[in-house]
Each structure stands twice: as C-alpha cells, then as structure tokens.
Amino acid sequence: MRFTPRIIPVLAASLAFMLQACGGSDSAPLQRATSFGQVLGSNDSTSGTYSWKGIPFAKPPVGALRWKAPADPAPWTDTRAATQFGNACLQNGRIYGPGSNNTYDGTIATTLNTPVGSEDCLTLNVWRPAGDSSNLPVVFFVYGGSDISGYTADPVYDGAALAKSANVVVVTANYRVGVLGFMNLAQLKTGASAGEDSGNFALLDTIQALKFVKNNIAGFGGDPGNVTLMGQSAGAINTWALLTTPLAAGLFHKAVPLSGGISLASNLPAGIIPTLNPASTYATQGNNLLYKLLIADGKATDTASAQAYIATQTAAQIADYLRAKDGGAILTTVLTGGLTGSGPIPDGAMLPTDPIAAIAAGNYNKVPVLAGNTADEGKLFAPFLTLLGGPPGFKISDATRFTMMQNFNPDAPATLTEADILDPAYLPSSTPATGWTAKATLLSSVFMIPSRDNVLNTLKAKQPNVWYYQFKWAQEPAPWNTIYGAAHAFDLPFIFGNFGPSLFSNAANSTANKPGRLALSAAMMASIGAFARNGDPNNAALGTTWPTWPAKLVFDAGLTQANISVQ
C-alpha cells in the first residue's frame, strides 16, 4: 500500500497514541488536553523539544464567517494529530510568503502574484523544551509580511531552538492578511461588536489565539500569567496596535515589537512615511474593491453605475454578495486594481484614532517593552526608492532574485557582483549620497526610524522599562553583505536560532561566518529569554549592562565572535 505525504504524519500520530495506550513512555508527554479536545504532538530528539502544530484556535473564517470575528473551533472527540503546520492564510504570493506547498521551496518563484494558501487557516503551534518543567515563560510571536502575506510554517519561525535555548514555551499563530484580515466597509458592519465593526479581523485573530494561550498553555508547561507578545515588521505594528486596545488587556504581560511602529502621518514631520494609515484610507480601499468586483461581474460598467447599483441593495445583500465571492478572485482584483496595502484600522472604537496620543495619555496596556531595529532596514525595501525620486533599487525581478538566492553557494568563490542585482543608478554602492548604501540609509531615515523615535519617546515618558537594540551584523558573503547587510528581518534567524534552509539563508550563512553568528544568536536568544522571564533583557551572555531607551544595545559579530556594545 502506498501512503501519501499527508497521510504518513497522521498514521505516525495514531501509532504514537496506540503505543501510549500500551504504556509506551516516549509518547506519554506528547498528548495534551485543550479546552476543545486532546492533541498529540511530536518529540524532536535532535532539538530536545516537544511540539504541537496546526492546533485550531477558531472556526475556519469561510462562507458566512468571512469578515467576522473569530469564533471558538468546534470541539473534537478523537485525539487530534498535531504534527503538521496548518494552512497559510489566503494571500497573493510573494517571496516572503509560502509557495504552493505551504513552506519555503522552489514553488515560491512560480506562484508570485497569484493566490496561495487557504481561508481555512486559523491554527497555532507550540514548542517547549522536552521534560516536565512547568510555569515556563511564554513567547507568542506574530509574523510580518506587510500585513498582506506571512505564515507560521516559514522555517525561520520554527520555535524549537528558541524554546530550548531560552527555556520558554514558544507559540506562533496564523492570522488573516490583506483585505481578508483588514476590511473597512460600511456594508459589513452590523453593530454586533466594536471589534468586528472595526474591520480589524487580523487583530481579532491574534486576540483569539492569545485567549487560547491564556486558557490552555498551562497544559503545555507554560505560564498563562507570563506571556510576551513579540512581532516583527507588520507583526510589530500589530503588536503596537494590541498595546492600545482594551480588547487585548490582560492577555500579554510584556511586548517585543521589532522593526515596526504605530505613527500616523500627523504624528510625524512632513515628508516622513507613516507606519499607520487612518481609517479613511481603508474605507476608500474597501469601497473601490467593491466597485471593481461589481464591474468585473457585469453588475456595473464604471464607478458611478456601481454606486447606483449599491444604492439599490441592502447592506446585508452586499455583504452576502462579497461573502459568496471566491477568495482568490477577490485577491486578484486587489492586485490588478492597485488596491494592495493593509494594516491596523484606527477606527476609534477597537483602536484609538491616534494610538500615539492614546499612549501619551496613558490609555494603553502598560507592560515592559523591548523594541529593536536593524541597522540597514531600507535595504530590503528597494522598490520604495521610487519615493525618493529614483528607480527601484533592484534591476531584477523578485522571481529572478529568489532563484539567484536559492542557487547561491555561500562557500564558493564569488561570481555574482552588485551590478548583477542593483540598478546602475546606485553604483558604485559606496558612492556618497547617490550610492546604494547611502540611498537605503536615507530611506530608513524617512521610514522606520522616525516612527521608532515617535513611539519609544512617547512610551518612555509614561514608563521606565523600555529597552531597545540595533542589529548590525553584516557578514554575508559578497555581494550580499552590501546588497542586504543588516537589512530588515535579518535579525529573525538570530532570534529564533534558525539559519536555513529559508529565503535568505544561502545568501547570508557561510561556513566562515558560522562561529560569529552562532555566538550572536545565542546572546540574542538569551536576551529574549531573560526579558520573557523577568521583564528585563539583561543577562550574563551580553557581557555588558543593557541600559534603557534612549540608550541602545548594538548586536553585532565578526566572523568568529559576537561583538555587543552600548551606544
């Protein structure tokens, strides 16, 4: 009999369950109870951890539940195999998201700008050190991806190494992205709840997953009274948002927002790119999407006739029409219609219309905060250089760059050059003012850094326990040490202790730089563990004292050892 790849893990879990019933000791720690049913996980002897993957924390948000607040999943009676990641949430393919196989593999290059994933996606994953220790700190991670992509099955987010090294329980959870996760449309608002009417379905998903943690994590050895909410990029923006909503009060006790902010344009000097848009921006997006869908379906011929058609329908009829649409068709319309862009909607009910003002007034969930950025954030945002009046930074497509990185041998003599990747306008890369590095630094100065200063300075005026790091490691083999350096997201492998295979692993990780990056990773994981445990990131691995903001700790390394300093 031939078993398909999807059947094998289920059979393995079933066999483990039978062995447990017969007294098999290896599987005994792997069966855990949740409020919805029993789950059976995996024992990874290589990493020294147990894991449970793909646990539902909400009903699939499909059909009538699309654009609804998440609801508790239906209970299950049989022990559920928890050995595979759940589906990525439906999204348009990007190199930062999954391919057709729900993981990092070569199909990513062939699925760019096409719908991947599934709307049946609200699952979470748990890792813990092997053994029977209890009351461990919990680190709950929220992935990035511009709030239009991302998935917990990304190999960088595997929680085993962090759980073992930091002696914590690690949780990752999927959440809806794009217009399925953030949708501000009047016809979807029913008055049922402020959260649902806000359109912040992605944030509600994360709150639902945090509630699962509160109610169930003790059964996995975690302390529900000591949860650290950590997010990167869009995940950091979402973390800041949850800091300002009463709906998340008491669900987390520390926060680690990395490379994100929560500032409106009105909070910042002129010419600065904000990290938060007003609710009106998303109302315009929602209306324009509705118009384009009606035109595509032949119910209208232009915006005016679409508006006229909408006037003949009730809000419930429009909502039913949208929920009956194929999710992939909606995302294709978003992409072809130039309607991309998502993020928290500051509606004034679930989220304050001005989160920075709310923090300044003390109206937020006050917890210790550890923030961070990379030194070369702008080097991952090459297309944004058009905002500075020049061409995009990369002259090659994402598909070409993906394949180039996938095939790169970091230990072989260099054959690629900067000129193979960068637009000639930014060469030589080291040219003052006009070179790649100078332009990427300028981009960082008008994007990430102002929002960082805005929120951290506002926060520090209300509480003393605010820490900050800058990640400065740039030891990749040429030419990637210049192309990326310490780019946005390049701190993540160090925090999770995962160096491949994944999107940037071939471009970044050589045999020569291995000793230094492993030493730096160990110090960063120890810092996350200390903060999760004590609300203070100071620990012996740093070799120095980490003062609070506005001082910063610099995480760096040479080829053979970590170089950690205070500035």
Q: Which residues are catalytic?
A: 233
CA 377 to chain centre: 16
Specify which residues 112 forms β-bridges with.
93
What is the C-alpha to C-alpha distance for residues 113 and 178, in angstroms, rounded to an integer?
Answer: 13
Quick check: 282 and 395 in contact, CB under 8 A?
no
Q: Which long-range contacts (CB under 8 A, 24 or more apart) does 508-513 make?
A: 508/410, 508/476, 508/480, 508/484, 509/410, 509/476, 510/410, 510/411, 510/476, 510/477, 511/410, 511/411, 512/411, 512/477, 512/559, 513/475, 513/476, 513/477, 513/557, 513/559
Question: How many other C-beta atoms are found inside a 10 Å radius of the C-beta of residue 26?
Answer: 11
What is the C-alpha to C-alpha distance for residues 154 and 149, in angstroms, rounded to an integer?
Answer: 11
Specify which residues 56 forms β-bridges with.
123
- Six-digit token string for 544: 């120095």
What is the C-alpha to C-alpha distance for residues 556 and 242, in angstroms, rounded to an integer?
Answer: 30
DSSP secondary structure, 210-266, as one string: HHHHHHHGGGGTEEEEEEEEEEETHHHHHHHHHHT-GGGTTS-SEEEEES-----GG
- Six-digit token string for 443: 């981009």
Q: What one-character DSSP code corresponds to residue 426?
A: G
What is the C-alpha to C-alpha distance for residues 285 and 291, in angstroms, rounded to an integer?
Answer: 10
Q: Residue 38: helix, strand or coil by DSSP?
A: strand
